[in-house]
Structure 1
Amino acid sequence: AGAASERPARRAAPAMAAQSEALSALSNLGYGPGEAAGAVAEAAGTHEGADTATLIRAALRLLAPKG
């Protein structure tokens, strides 16, 4: 039972790391914590299991001015 319960956590860890790194990158680009977190969360929901670069690109598309 122990090994089976660890599997979801192992899969979640890289995804959480990618989200954290994407959030840091957006913050370094000057986006506020709230808007960056919202964009990364939305990008992560749309691109499940995505790597850091994919999340950053997707979040930047969401943050880009519309119109």
Structure 2
Amino acid sequence: MFPCLTQNTGRVLTFIQIYEHIRKEPDYGTGREIVNHHVYRVRCKLNLGNASDFYIRSVRGIGYSLEVR
């Protein structure tokens, strides 16, 4: 998932776009929860290195965007 976000830095990706990148299949209704879980894990890893230049911004009802500080 992180490569998908880094290739689209600053651009908002929908839950469906991220899900289809992760799973390589259409979303059958569980995609949002799966994406939320993956984003949580990536955020935890980004926070381990406190000097990280990136953060994941939530766009309510749409998806996520990787931003540079």
* TM-score > 0.5, shorter chain as reference: no
Relative to its length, the structure with more strand (as a share) is: 2
TM-score, normalised with respect to structure 1:
0.39
Structure showing greater Rg: 1
